[in-house]
Structures are given as C-alpha cells and as structure tokens.
Amino acid sequence: MFNLVIVGSGCAGNTAAIYAARANLKPLVVKGHHPGGQLSLTTLVENFPGFPEGINGPDLVENIKKQAQTFGAEFKEGAVVEADLSKRPFRLNIEGDWIETRTLIIASGASARWLGLPNEQNLIGHGVSSCATCDGFFYRDKKIMVVGGGDSAMEEANFLTRFGREVALVHRRDQFRASKIMLDRARNNPKITFVLNTVVEDVFDASKGLVTGARLRNGVTGKVWEQEVDGFFVAIGHIPNTAVFRGQIETDADGYVISKSGARTNIPGVFHAGDVQDRVYRQAVTASGMGCMAAMEAERFLEAEGH
Ligand code: NAP
C-alpha cells in the first residue's frame, strides 16, 4: 500500500515526487509511456529559472528525477492501463501489476498532436516544434512555418513574428476554428502570410539533422511545391492523457481534468498537476509549480486522515 502514487514522470510528476519524498511519503512515480514527458522531446530550455546558460530538456527532467530519488522517491517503468478510483484505497493496474494507494496525483500530461509526416518525428527538437514559447527564440530573422487554423496556431504565429523574418501560416481549409479576435490579429500582422486549403506532405531535411523546407499541396488546385523554412511549428492541438481515468475523473469535452480549486479533482484524495489540466500555460515551470501544489495537498489530505 502506497501513501501516494504519481502517474507521470515529466516536470509535474517529478517535482511532486521531490516534495512528497521530502515529506516522507515514500511516493511511487509511474513513469508512463513517455518517461520525462514533453521535455524529453525538446533540446535547449532557456526559460526555466536557475539556468542562465539554458539546459537541455532531457537533462532538466532527469535532474528533477534524480533530486526526487535522493529523498527516496521510487520510479516504476510502465503505464497505468486500468484504474479503480471508486473507493479508497485507489487501485491501479500498471501493465498487469495491481497496486494500491491512499492518494493519487495525475500528472500524465498532454501530448502534442503531430501531423504524422514521414520525417516529422526525426526533426523534433531540430527545427520541428510544438511550442513557440519554448523554441521561438531560436528563429531570430529566420523563415518560420506554423500549421493549424485554431487559436493555438494564431497565437503561435503572432508570437513568432517577434523573432522570425516571415511566418507562413498553413491551414488545410479556408475556414478557421480560431476566434475572430485572434484570427484578425494574425491577419493584420504584416509578417504573417496565410497559405490556405493547403496540407503539408513532408518536412525535410532529416539527413542534415535540421529543417530546411517543407513540401506543400494545395487541396483545391492540386499544386505541389516546396517552400524553404528554418522553423516548423505544429499547432494542431493537444491530447490530454486521461483516457484511462475516463468516467471517474471529471474532465471537459476534450479530456482535460477539471480542477476543483488548487490541485484538487472531483475525487477526494486524487490531485492533478501539469498539462493534464492546463490548456493555457503548458510550461515546464508552471507544471513544476503544480506538481509542488499537488504534493502539498496530498500530504495535507493524508495528515487529516491520520496517516
Ligand atoms: P483546435 O481549436 O482544435 O484547432 C486545431 C486546428 O488544427 C484546426 O484548425 C484543425 O483544422 C487543425 N488540424 C487538426 N488536425 C490536423 C491535421 N491532421 N492536419 C492539419 N490540420 C489539422 O486546437 P487549438 O488551436 O490548440 O485550441 C484548443 C483549445 O484551446 C480551443 O478551445 C482554443 O480556443 C483554446 N486556446 C485558446 C487560446 C487563447 O485564448 N489565448 C490559445 C490557444 C488555445 P480543421 O479546422 O480543419 O479541423
């Protein structure tokens, strides 16, 4: 029987583990399908406080993990495939291995939706990105492409004009999901060019280890062409990793956990941290902050119950 199980080993989960381990809760972190979370997909992180020279994403999240292990947090390979949160102790099936816990922190994150292009995954962190706030700075005076037609795409395209020489916004239709105000802001930005009714067929050049261009196809005219770009930002939404808790934890229509103030969910003893609840900020530092909050709430919950 664990006092606390933390599902997810990104910034949120690993930071929760530091706080919980220092409070002697002996937490177990279930690493999940993508150990290290989204930071493990990035290269240099320049906006996490405390690293004036920046730090590599995978190193940052590994350091947070080591810090948690120093205080006694345990890490377990595998992902939760089934959960019973109907009564306490909560029961979790970790790929065939059932465990019980008094409290739970869901820090399983949200995965960026990718286009599924042949060379996309090879170039993530080398010109392909899903986070303008994280990576925009690297494209000063460069040519940037943003894919998507929602608020995220408009926001990222606008933000990226602070750095890039020009931003091409590629969208597969000529109608937008983006709100009018965000769309108008992008339309009125002289650095943004709209490339509509157009899909991306591939991004290259994986053999050089960096992005040099993309092949596009206009769905109406059938025209195919190659366009030079240095930075390729995919902004077609995120998928919160909450499927395994569906029907038990209250979520919104897209699957994001609904917060009941602080780090609380609708189930007493179950807390949330990081992108699994956050569709707005999605930063390493905010995820870490939420991890801290969730661990402190779990600790108080256990104390109130006499554990
Ligand atoms: P979204 O509204 O679901 O938009 C996703 C966009 O990506 C759509 O234009 C969609 O095209 C396109 N897309 C999806 N799959 C694609 C594919 N395989 N190939 C090409 N294009 C694809 O997602 P979002 O922009 O991330 O926004 C999510 C939510 O967060 C929304 O409620 C939004 O309002 C909110 N948000 C708010 C703010 C803000 O207010 N500051 C900022 C960001 C996000 P189709 O339209 O053709 O389906």
- Please indicate, yes or no, whether residues 21 and 159 belong to a single structural domain of this protein: no
pLDDT digits (tens, 9 = 90+) for 202-215: 999 999 999 999 99
- Answer yes or no: 135 catalytic: yes
pLDDT in tens, 159-190: 999 999 999 999 999 999 999 999 999 999 99
pLDDT at 38: 87
3-state class (DSSP) for residue 223: coil
Q: What is the dihedral of CA 292, 295, 296, 300, to 10 degrees?
A: 170
> Is 91 in the same domain as 138?
no
Residues with Cβ < 8 Å from 4, sequence gap 6 or more?
20, 25, 26, 27, 28, 101, 102, 103, 104, 105, 295, 298, 302
115 touches ligand 1 (CB under 6 Å): yes
Compute the distance between CA of residue 288 and CA of residue 63 in angstroms, rounded to an integer.
13
Residue 251, strand partner residues: 257
**CATH code, domain carrying 13:** 3.50.50.60
What pLDDT, on a 0 to 100 scale, did the predictor assign at position 45? 85
Answer with the one of 195, 210, 234 that is the final residue of a domain: 234
Last-in-domain residue among 211, 234, 257: 234
**pLDDT (average), residues 2-30:** 98
What tokens does 74 get?
């345990």
**Domain end among 234, 250, 280:** 234
Contact (CB, 8 A) for 193 and 166: yes
3-state helix, strand, coil in the chain (%, to 5): 30, 30, 40
Same domain assignment for residues 64 and 173: no
118 & 152 share domain: yes
Q: Which of 237, 211, 214, 234 is nearest to 225 (CA)?
A: 214
In this prediction, residue 285 carries a pLDDT of 97
9 and 102 within one domain: yes
The residue to mutate among 177, 179, 278, 281, having the most atoms of ligand 1 within 8 angstroms of its beta carbon, is 177
Contact 163, 136 (CB under 8 A): yes
Counting atoms of ligand 1 from 1, which one is nearest the CA of 155? 42
Model confidence over 216-240: pLDDT tens digits?
999 999 999 999 999 999 999 999 9
Q: Is the pLDDT of residue 25 over 90?
A: yes
Give the three-class secondary structure for 125: coil
Number of compact structural domains in the chain: 2
Q: Does pLDDT of 154 surpass 90?
A: yes
134 sits in which H/E element: helix 132-135
Q: Assess whether pLDDT exceeds 80 at residue 41.
A: no
Q: Tell me if residue 11 is catalytic.
A: no
Q: Which residue has the tokens 């109907």?
A: 86
**CA distances, 154 to each of 26, 138, 179, 186 (Å):** 44, 19, 9, 6
Instruction: Tell whether 95 and 242 lie within a shared domain.
Output: yes
- Bridge partners (DSSP) of residue 98 are 93
Looking at 38-47, 60-69, 80-89, 232-241, which range is the least confident one? 38-47
Ligand 1 close to Cβ of residue 289 (< 6 A) = no
Same domain, 209 and 277: no
- For residue 291, pLDDT over 90 is answered with yes
Please say if 292 is a catalytic residue: no
> Is residue 118 domain-shared with residue 229, that is, in the same domain?
yes
Please indicate, yes or no, whether residues 103 and 242 belong to a single structural domain of this protein: yes
Closest C-alpha to ligand 1, atom 5? 236
Q: One-letter amino acid identity for 157?
A: A
| Residue at token pair 């060379």 | 119
- pLDDT at 43 (0 to 100): 74
- Ligand 1 near 217 CB (within 6 A): no
Residues 10, 61: contact at Cβ < 8 Å? Answer: yes
Note whether 97 and 34 are same-domain residues: yes
pLDDT at residue 202, rounded to an integer:
98
Instruction: Work out the pLDDT band at 123, boundaries 50, 70, 90.
Output: very high
**Within this chain, do residues 6 and 104 fall inside the same structural domain, yes or no?**
yes
pLDDT band for 279, please (50, 70, 90 cuts): confident
pLDDT at 284 over 90: yes
Instruction: Give the integer Cα–Cα distance in Å for 281 and 271.
Output: 18
Give residue 238 CA to ligand 1 midpoint distance, Å: 8
In terms of domains, do 121 and 212 share one? yes
How close is the Cα of 2 to the center of ligand 1, in Å? 39
* The pLDDT of residue 42: 75
Q: pLDDT category, 44, cuts 50, 70, 90? A: confident
Domain extent for 66: 2-111+238-304
